[in-house]
Structure 1
Amino acid sequence: MSLTSHVAELRKKHQTLSAQVEEAHRSPAADGLEIAKLKKQKLQLKEEISRLST
């Protein structure tokens, strides 16, 4: 897997997590811990993307 395709895959995962976070925020039964976990994963992906892109 090339670096470019790896970064593209990470961006895709980041976008998926963003959608999950937004959906969880709209849900009345949203679990705060689950939202925090998703946000942490999203941040880790963003940091990795940034690190690989430089």
Structure 2
Amino acid sequence: MISKQESAARMCRTSEMLASQNRRVSSANNKIRERPSMTIRKRKGERGSPCRSPL
């Protein structure tokens, strides 16, 4: 049996992984259109709570 806390942590980790994958893809797509400084600023703004996924 997994405890609720453990399962929540696991969910959080997987959503973070997916989010980082999506971010990598979108940043690759955006590189053509925006300057790198813009993407860096955006990435910094996304770091609020580690569990809240941007999806």
TM-score (norm 2): 0.53
Structure 2 residue aligned with 1:8: 10
> Aligned-residue CA RMSD in angstroms?
2.8
RCO higher in 1 or 2 (8 Å CA, sep ≥ 6)? 2
CA offsets per residue over residues 1-54 of structure 1, 9 Å max, x none?
A: 700000000011100110011001111357x68xx37x61xx3342x5xxxxxx
Q: Which has the larger share of helix?
A: 1
Runs of 4+ residues over 3 Å off in structure 1: none
Q: Name the % identity.
A: 7
Q: Which runs of 5+ in 1 are unaligned?
A: 49-54
Q: Tell me how many residue pairs correspond in the alignment.
A: 41
TM-score (norm 1): 0.54
